[in-house]
Structure 1
Amino acid sequence: MRKYGLLLSLLFTITSAQAQQILEVPGINEFAKIDTNGHSVLPSGRYVTPAGKTIRITDDPFGLSISPDKKWAVTIHNAAFTRVDLINHTSKRFPDFGTSDKVSPYGKSSFLGIVFASDSQSFYLSGGDAGNVHQVDILTGKVIRTISLDGKIGEKTFKDSFASDMALISEKNELLVLDQANYRMVRIDLGTGGLKSSTATGRLPFGITLSPDHQFAFVANVGMYAYPIVEGTTPENIQSQYIPHHPYGNDTKESREGTVINGKKIPGLGDPRADEAMSVFQINLQTNQTEKIYKPGFQLGEMVEEMEVVGGSSPNSIAVGSQFIYVSNATNDNIAVIDYKTKKIKAHIPIQFSSLLDKRRGYLPFGLTLSKDEKTLYVTLLGLNAVAVIDIKTAMTKGFIPTGWGPTRVKLSADEKTLYVTSCRGYGAGPNGGAGYKAPKQGTYIGDVQLGTFQAIPMPSATGLAALTTQVKNNTFVVKDGSKRGNATFSIAKPGQSPIKHIVYITKENRTYDEFFGQFKGANGDSTIARFGLNRTVYEKGKTFKNVDVSPNHHQIAKAFSMSDNFYCDSDASIHGHHWMMGVIPNEWVETNSSVSKSANYFSEAPGRRFPGSTGSMDPEDYAEIGGIWEALERKNIPFYNFGEANETGHVRESWSDTLTGAGHIVMVPMQKALFKNTSHNYAGFNTSIPDQFRAEQFETEFTEKWLSGKEKMPALVTIQLPNDHGGDLDSTAGFPYRSSFMADNDLALGRMLQFLSHTPYWKNMLVIVTEDDPQGGVDHIDAHRSILMMAGPYVKRDYVSHRHANFGSILRVIYTLLGIPAVNHYDQTASILDDFFTETPNFKPYEFSFPDKRIFDADKTMIRYNRTIDWRKIKKTVEMDNEEDQRKNH
């Protein structure tokens, strides 16, 4: 047998004559934890050590306003706000925790916009989905009045408004409100509550600010397209108008001009470089007309550092001075400098954190504020957990100040001696269940236990800023000598030396580690919450079943191969998870719209109502500058194929009969261009009305036709979505009488897939990675983000539990390294290296699946409605594959 170098050859290192250096997260040997007096360990393995005085507040504070009398700060959350007493450094939430969004006095939705009245006695809060603005008393939290954005202005009547960011023209007692649904800026007379004017903006207007003389309003737009529905669709014929997949790849002839699918005319989206897309509008407030449209940041098709730009710049927030405005371009990690008097883009200031990381995007500049002397700009970096301090004159980053996880907004005190900073995830989540756990008053859902933070940070001196900058770097990564990794199997090898040639990346849905593996011996679990484990007592619909094996294959795979008890999803929910796991850090648009209640109306005249926000698929508003894993593979001409990933958007139909892809599309949103042509149109993605047994059959059939028939060679990467552990609506006639039935369905399908793969000729060069997209469906005694990571294959250790801290970046680092692909973002570049999973001595023994307990799941019943039966005898015989001995001989 040939000897190979380490399977995980570290391809992208910093080399010197003395050592081979690698970057990894600082918490590689720690479990996630919250320690407000020391360092907290995030799911990524990075630390957070917020500077200054920190208050924990409700999650996702995406808006921040300071009262003119400097006594109060107010942050906005979905259907709630937090009032911070700046003098006593205390906070109060309105309404109290436990109040349903449906009965919140502020409505079920509030979004981004919050601004104080001139007298500091009240403030205005944007009502988000309700399309209104509330005036709220600062002391009592009572709503004084509500003003709707809907109504007639001139000759046009506006409906279905969605209120977003706001600005106050104090001397005129007027409020400017962005309406994301109707793509406009609304001007309100606060004296009468009447609507004075409506000015068209770009798509999805997100941030607004005023020039110091109040002559201009500047609006940042994060939208890429106005998404149409299938031509000819009416409320009466809509069910016959759906198509089974995304209509086209982004920025293609079809996406620009339209196409025809299944005889249906599909409208085009136009040019993604249009003025309305990802732009800044300069609006003259004397005429209510747009005087200039700017296109900041890098544009689609440009070459940046020898790679093509595929994602828009996402200009989102604006700071203004006497001559220049400063725009945060989240996707490009830079700040646009625009001279609004000469109406020209003057420059772009790059965020300069570390020469080791700066070429890998993901800092995600978001909120920003300018010093009074206009010499210093402070920028929250959503993806770096820090505020950047930028010197305007030199366009250099002077330093960084550590914040909580995901900083959103930053403001200066009147004397500029204090910075006020909010973060959406604070110190992280911590545990949300387990023996002895006491649930907090806000509940145990991951998004509720994961509180945000409000920081009051004394302005640091030059020496203090240098120390804080060092702290931010130490929180983010450490540089190690790759030649001194102890007993770990680790070496530097050239691309292509690994015997692993095929990677199968399987994602499941919404489960924590403890739910499946809490009872697993030799690992850090809590058996009291292992409800989907082995030999469990299951209580379902008034019935009790004892000694139930809910997930025998998960346990069998973990025992037969390798698993982690220290793996975390970076995500809270699917909208984040399917971005993170495919190499795209969720930007400010994804984060904000995922936190707010919103509704769609396909037939609305408000274009934003057809596309109220992104979901599990990546939409054009979400793309990273150079994309994610799909674009990285395409750049290197590495073949890949996708089963089920990225076919879910906020408007899809998910019927049990949508079996071609699991979805029916009516609003025309493109798929990533690289992925569109490499995706199966005969595999059901997310749709829990379809059994995973159906998916297993679809997968085996297409795999056989494509890659076992000899027509094509199996590609280097195959991605598979296997979602039914998410759970769904109970239906005994469809084979799902109990909640645990969905888990058993998922478990059996996973076992079937691994058995199938392990009996193919490709097995001898295969790695299978199994994980979850997010952990929101369960609880865990270590951290609400802790979830499942298993690896299987001949070169994976047998009966091994890894305790090394891992996250999605770690998985991607495995894939990128084995396939010879450079890291796409700085999370992948610094993620922990999971070389401990692997061995240089292969074991080709295939996997044989086990059946779950038939009392809770009968797989045959799930196929009845499809008029199909499962040929278990054929499946158990496996397929026409090499046996273990043949594979050893061929090795």
Structure 2
Amino acid sequence: MKQLYFLFFCLIAIQPLKAQQILEVPGLNEFAKIDTSSYSVLPSGRYVRPAGNTIRITDDPFGLSISPNKKWAITIHNAAFTRIDLINQKAKRFPEFGTPDKNSPYGKSSFLGIVFDSKSESFYLSGGDAGNVHQVDIETGRVLRTISIDGIIGDKNFQDSFASDMAIVPETHELFVLDQANFRMVRIDLNTGNLKSSTPTGRIPFGITLSPDHRFAFIANVGMYAYPLVKGTTPENLQSQYIPHHPYGNDTKESREGTRVAGKEIPGLGDPRADEAMSVYQIDLRTNQNVQIYKPGFQIGEMVEEMEVVGGSSPNSIAVGSQYVYVSNATNDNIAVIDYRSKKILTHIPIQFSKPLDKRRGYLPFGLTLSKDEKTLYVTLLGLNALAIIDVASQKTKGFIPTGWGPTRVKLSEDEKTIYVTSCRGYGAGPNGGAGYVAPKQGTYIGDVQLGTFQSIPVPTATELAKLTQVVQNNTYVVKDGSIRGNKTFSLAKPGQSPIKHIVYITKENRTYDEFFGQFKGANGDSTLARYGMNRTVYEKNKTIKNVDVSPNHQQIAKAFSMSDNFYCDSDASIHGHHWMMGVIPNEWVETNSSVSKTGKIFSEAPGRRRPGSTGSMDPEDYAEIGGIWEALERKNISFYNFGEANETGHVREDWSDTLTGAGHIVMVPMQKALFSKTSHNYAGFNTSIPDQFRVQQFETEFTEKWLRGKEKMPSLVTIQLPNDHGGDLDSTAGFPFRSLFMADNDLALGRMLQFLSHTPYWKNMLVIVTEDDPQGGVDHIDAHRSILMMAGPYVKRDYISHRHANFGSILRVIYTLLGVPAVNHYDQTASVLDDFFTETPNFKPYQFSFPDKRIFDADKTMIRYNRSIDWRKIKKTVEMDDEDEQRKNH
């Protein structure tokens, strides 16, 4: 009996320890680095150790083809391609680095599609935005001919085409090209270059594959809607037709049927579950007719694992066997299996990596290929940095192979003994500036310095695959003892029970760490890069001012509270950043769409020319299965409100007078349903023509009316976009004769915002988080992704520098933990825990802002065009928040 009692108490003692186990990235205590001989540390804190032989190539290789003679591999990039000698493992870029896109012989845009001719002497390359196809000589890279897919077919004249993925039938000398602008498949006679037929597809056709007998073509469509203009819009009345915000939330009565905004009639988008949306088309090539439409993956509104699906499945790539079609559903982390003989979806094969992570989603299956015996599928996982190998018969994931960052495409050698894999970001970026830095020939911009990779991997045995799978897991996360982490302020064991009840999440635009904090004492910075720091020289053309304090509030906030010198944006640019920071991993459509030069034509008859450009907002093509931070909070009935985030789509107008939201909308793109009713319609989001001083006034006014004088309590989460550190066009009349003044404007606005917040009654229970959406505007001596993270509030440590590796997932993990919300995706689930920022002993002292150097920045001048002034005396005399003991004494 005593032994039983002893066992019982041991079980009680052991169980809490198991419950306290947490997952974190392996690079928790490391700075980002590139080490091709060992392992690289990514901005996420995950490791990269690609298997096999790895060659670094141009970034974003989203198309891959192997020549019939097995001598060459070709990868496609924007306005360029890379030829890889498979025998000697050498790569050559065409054109050479340094050639402007506009001067590329392949046009300024090329996209997804590459196929070889039967003799391996030339290949066909899709011309993307130009709506054409180039035949290119493999030896010289010379363009042999160009075929436009614009033109008359039947009784219709197709224009403004956008050439995408392709397939070829050498025996009949036919090429099949997807046109993302006109939502169709074009059939070309290669003997004559003539267009033979045009077959409608679903919206934004993305991937094409032919059946082995060439009877059928299968098209994967990633589009959700055909986006209309405000009704009645013409080129003549365009400027009067813009509305000041998104017209409706997605999948609402208004978005389906239409509505009215600002007195204008807004067309509806229809049902997001329509056949044309996120579908697979089966086209009979004998008749050029579609014979079946499939809707793979989970559908919007469906309940999956007790949560409602809000994002489409994003079917993107296809592998075809003698009877079955396999479709990668990026959003759902599964592979659809279609019997194309009986024309039925049979099942979905889930990607099974790790039980703690599988339910979180975000592996993002993308490229795939099928073995000749049709027993094995190889799938690139864009979000896991790995290649999955799936046994078709058992529908089980056999194992994983480590790749570069963001694997895109996979092919097999003829003998199927070698796997070829491309990755869009390779080993990461590394530094792009600093003392002693030597700029590479491709330049120092983050998107250029960050090269892609091409891997040649021997097909592993079962034993080897097991070892490689363990490498992938070790690259992704480590298991930590959570029982010794955190404190009463930030408790992993008791999420949602912190004294912090209100979080303000401020995002700024496009800056690196060293630009602000390269001089900061005690931190890992390079003072030679601190152009927005203290005691700097500011110049523009012939005018120079010395000893300027450009960002005194950033320096003051970092010193007064806490900052990180080891934080990284996962993003390269805004299109990625506003996804990552709001809890959505950019999918294959976002990545490819952002990598290609494209032209919007809102009056075109090609509906795809009004497709979203996805910049500061998420569009329906981008949504994750269960959404991001907004949907996570809504599921838990946690209040939130948004100032300026998610209001910028690809076709907005951004004039200085668009002050209600910063954007005028003419193409009707919906906002996330959870966010639409909780977003301010009187706060300017991204628009650098509007000063941040104007935004502060908007913010303070609405905050005061709603949560100080009004009956509502401040929400648990408030998001704010404060974008002017991005920089904009110089305009002396508007108060911006120097480029650095955009930074000064942003700095003063941030200081004013924090002063205002710290003098409200909510300050006692508040946390303010400040970061950037991406780092593309600057340089850094550690990594081009390194950026700003500051935290402020009574429960944040004072004068503290965190050296713990951090990324957007880390910020979200802070928010989710404090508010008691489960992680949404596997990056949030494994992100580093930033408990080191917090203290149990609060310091309620409010913040007082400082002015940037008035020799360069006159805040009052920025408000003249708006006929407004700034009452600095009133602002400076802000009454400190109520102190209960002082109030009791006075009473």
- TM interval, short-chain normalised: over 0.9
CA contact (8 A) 2:696 2:752 kept: yes
**CA distance in 1: counterparts of 2:736 and 2:548, whole angstroms:** 16
In structure 2, the partner of 1:476 is: 476
**CA distance in 2: counterparts of 1:406 and 1:511, whole angstroms:** 23
**CA distance in 2: counterparts of 1:603 and 1:888, whole angstroms:** 66
**CA distance in 1: counterparts of 2:490 and 2:126, whole angstroms:** 54
In structure 1, the partner of 2:713 is: 713
In structure 1, the partner of 2:200 is: 200
Q: Is there any run of 5+ residues in structure 2 with no aligned partner, and where?
A: 1-13
Q: SS at the partner of 1:538?
A: strand
In structure 1, the partner of 2:9 is: none
In structure 1, the partner of 2:857 is: 857
**CA distance in 1: counterparts of 2:573 and 2:545, whole angstroms:** 31
**CA distance in 1: counterparts of 2:864 and 2:494, whole angstroms:** 51
Amino acid at match of 1:704: T
In structure 2, the partner of 1:398 is: 398
Query: What is the CA distance between 1:854 and its match in structure 2?
Result: 1.1
Q: SS at the partner of 2:356?
A: coil
Which segment is superposed worse, 788-797 or 614-623?
Answer: 614-623
In structure 2, the partner of 1:154 is: 154
Matched, 1:662 2:662: yes
**CA distance in 2: counterparts of 1:876 and 1:834, whole angstroms:** 33
Query: What is the CA distance between 1:732 and its match in structure 2?
Result: 0.5
The CA deviation string for residues 134-178 of structure 1, in whole angstroms up to 9 with x for no partner, is: 000000000000000100001100000000000001111000000
Q: How does 1:378-389 map to 2 (within 5 A)?
A: 378-389=378-389
In structure 1, the partner of 2:761 is: 761
* C-alpha spacing 1:666/1:18, structure 2 compared with 1 (3 Å): closer
* C-alpha spacing 1:657/1:225, structure 2 compared with 1 (3 Å): same
In structure 1, the partner of 2:526 is: 526
**CA distance in 2: counterparts of 1:465 and 1:857, whole angstroms:** 60
The CA deviation string for residues 542-589 of structure 1, in whole angstroms up to 9 with x for no partner, is: 222111000000000000000000000000000000000000000000
Q: How does 1:797-876 map to 2 (within 5 A)?
A: 797-876=797-876
In structure 2, the partner of 1:459 is: 459
**CA distance in 1: counterparts of 2:718 and 2:887, whole angstroms:** 21
Q: SS at the partner of 1:424?
A: strand
In structure 2, the partner of 1:636 is: 636
**CA distance in 1: counterparts of 2:66 and 2:888, whole angstroms:** 69
Query: What is the CA distance between 1:94 and its match in structure 2?
Result: 0.1
CA contact (8 A) 1:844 1:884 kept: no
**CA distance in 2: counterparts of 1:699 and 1:370, whole angstroms:** 55
* C-alpha spacing 1:861/1:18, structure 2 compared with 1 (3 Å): closer
In structure 2, the partner of 1:4 is: none
Q: SS at the partner of 2:299?
A: coil
In structure 2, the partner of 1:129 is: 129
**CA distance in 2: counterparts of 1:731 and 1:576, whole angstroms:** 29
Q: How does 1:312-461 map to 2 (within 5 A)?
A: 312-461=312-461
In structure 1, the partner of 2:10 is: none
**CA distance in 2: counterparts of 1:613 and 1:686, whole angstroms:** 15
Query: What is the CA distance between 1:884 and its match in structure 2?
Result: 8.9
Query: What is the CA distance between 1:611 and its match in structure 2?
Result: 1.5
In structure 2, the partner of 1:648 is: 648
CA contact (8 A) 1:51 1:455 kept: yes
Identity %: 87
The CA deviation string for residues 25-79 of structure 1, in whole angstroms up to 9 with x for no partner, is: 0000000000001110000000000000000000000000000000000000000
The CA deviation string for residues 227-282 of structure 1, in whole angstroms up to 9 with x for no partner, is: 00000000000000000000000000000000011110000000000000000000
In structure 1, the partner of 2:510 is: 510
Matched, 1:86 2:89: no
Query: What is the CA distance between 1:855 and its match in structure 2?
Result: 1.5
Query: What is the CA distance between 1:483 and its match in structure 2?
Result: 2.8
Query: What is the CA distance between 1:856 and its match in structure 2?
Result: 1.4
In structure 2, the partner of 1:7 is: none
In structure 1, the partner of 2:686 is: 686
**CA distance in 1: counterparts of 2:887 and 2:622, whole angstroms:** 43
* C-alpha spacing 1:797/1:389, structure 2 compared with 1 (3 Å): same
Matched, 1:209 2:209: yes
**CA distance in 2: counterparts of 1:816 and 1:773, whole angstroms:** 19
Query: What is the CA distance between 1:212 and its match in structure 2?
Result: 0.2
In structure 2, the partner of 1:241 is: 241
Q: Is there any run of 5+ residues in structure 1 with no aligned partner, and where?
A: 1-13
* C-alpha spacing 1:670/1:18, structure 2 compared with 1 (3 Å): closer
Matched, 1:677 2:677: yes
In structure 2, the partner of 1:794 is: 794
CA contact (8 A) 2:571 2:577 kept: yes
* C-alpha spacing 1:601/1:886, structure 2 compared with 1 (3 Å): farther
CA contact (8 A) 1:418 1:457 kept: yes
**CA distance in 1: counterparts of 2:591 and 2:711, whole angstroms:** 43
Query: What is the CA distance between 1:486 and its match in structure 2?
Result: 10
In structure 2, the partner of 1:743 is: 743
TM-score by length of 2: 0.97
**CA distance in 2: counterparts of 1:69 and 1:773, whole angstroms:** 45
CA contact (8 A) 1:765 1:794 kept: yes
Which segment is superposed worse, 450-459 or 538-547?
Answer: 538-547
Q: SS at the partner of 1:123?
A: strand
CA contact (8 A) 1:846 1:884 kept: no
In structure 1, the partner of 2:11 is: none
* C-alpha spacing 1:657/1:319, structure 2 compared with 1 (3 Å): same
* C-alpha spacing 1:454/1:560, structure 2 compared with 1 (3 Å): same
**CA distance in 1: counterparts of 2:765 and 2:263, whole angstroms:** 43
CA contact (8 A) 1:216 1:282 kept: yes
**CA distance in 1: counterparts of 2:373 and 2:644, whole angstroms:** 53
**CA distance in 2: counterparts of 1:638 and 1:755, whole angstroms:** 26
Matched, 1:566 2:566: yes
In structure 1, the partner of 2:733 is: 733
In structure 2, the partner of 1:47 is: 47
The CA deviation string for residues 606-664 of structure 1, in whole angstroms up to 9 with x for no partner, is: 00001253222100000000000000010001010000000001100000000000000
* C-alpha spacing 1:286/1:888, structure 2 compared with 1 (3 Å): farther
In structure 1, the partner of 2:305 is: 305
Amino acid at match of 1:29: N
CA contact (8 A) 1:541 1:738 kept: no
**CA distance in 2: counterparts of 1:20 and 1:244, whole angstroms:** 48
Amino acid at match of 1:802: S
Matched, 1:179 2:179: yes
Q: SS at the partner of 1:82?
A: strand
Q: What is the RMSD computed on CA atoms of the aligned residues?
A: 1.5
Q: SS at the partner of 1:836?
A: helix
CA contact (8 A) 1:400 1:472 kept: yes
Amino acid at match of 1:805: H
Matched, 1:537 2:516: no
Amino acid at match of 2:543: K
**CA distance in 2: counterparts of 1:487 and 1:466, whole angstroms:** 38
Query: What is the CA distance between 1:887 and its match in structure 2?
Result: 9.5
**CA distance in 1: counterparts of 2:490 and 2:880, whole angstroms:** 36
**CA distance in 1: counterparts of 2:159 and 2:140, whole angstroms:** 31
* C-alpha spacing 1:493/1:150, structure 2 compared with 1 (3 Å): same
**CA distance in 1: counterparts of 2:754 and 2:689, whole angstroms:** 23
* C-alpha spacing 1:207/1:433, structure 2 compared with 1 (3 Å): same
**CA distance in 2: counterparts of 1:493 and 1:208, whole angstroms:** 48
Q: SS at the partner of 2:292?
A: strand
* C-alpha spacing 1:849/1:391, structure 2 compared with 1 (3 Å): same
The CA deviation string for residues 392-442 of structure 1, in whole angstroms up to 9 with x for no partner, is: 000000000000000000000000000000000000000000001000000
**CA distance in 1: counterparts of 2:510 and 2:885, whole angstroms:** 38
Amino acid at match of 2:695: R
Q: SS at the partner of 1:438?
A: coil
Q: SS at the partner of 1:207?
A: strand
* C-alpha spacing 1:889/1:233, structure 2 compared with 1 (3 Å): farther
CA contact (8 A) 1:844 1:888 kept: no
Matched, 1:227 2:220: no
**CA distance in 2: counterparts of 1:145 and 1:713, whole angstroms:** 66
Q: SS at the partner of 1:187?
A: strand
The CA deviation string for residues 785-815 of structure 1, in whole angstroms up to 9 with x for no partner, is: 0000000000000000000000000000000
Q: SS at the partner of 1:811?
A: helix
Query: What is the CA distance between 1:539 and its match in structure 2?
Result: 2.1
